[in-house]
């Protein structure tokens, strides 16, 4: 996409979600991560798509990524993408591996 600042593709997702057996999707308007943070707690894989308006800065993305990444398993695979869409939104996929 022409407005993507950082892009994810199928290979990124395939690698990040390898061996996960449960995947959940979450979305929120704006950059408030409080509800999503609770939902992704302990995940083994995390993919984030962050979209914003023309005033979005890389620091906005960094804050979202760091906040959500701090909620998942320390060895989790975390990938993210950022783009300009005209409105602030976060979309997240979180995956969990089976318990051993």
The pTM assigned to this predicted structure is 0.89
4-96: CATH number: 3.30.1330.20
Q: Give per-residue pLDDT as tens, 32-69.
A: 999 999 999 999 999 999 999 999 999 999 999 999 99
Q: Is the dihedral of CA 63, 82, 47, 40 positive or negative?
A: positive
Mean pLDDT, residues 57-85 taken together: 95
pLDDT at 5: 63
Q: pLDDT band for 93, please (50, 70, 90 cuts).
A: very high
């Amino acid at each position: 996409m022409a407005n993507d600042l950082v892009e994810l593709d199928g290979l990124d997702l395939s690698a990040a979600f390898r061996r996960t057996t449960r995947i959940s999707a979450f979305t929120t308007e704006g950059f408030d991560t409080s509800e999503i943070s609770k939902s992704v707690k302990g995940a083994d894989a995390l993919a984030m798509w962050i979209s914003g308006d023309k005033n979005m800065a890389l620091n906005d993305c960094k804050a979202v990524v760091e906040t959500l990444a701090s909620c998942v398993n320390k060895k989790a695979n975390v990938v993210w993408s950022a783009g300009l869409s005209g409105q602030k939104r976060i979309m997240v996929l979180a995956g969990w591996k089976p318990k051993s």
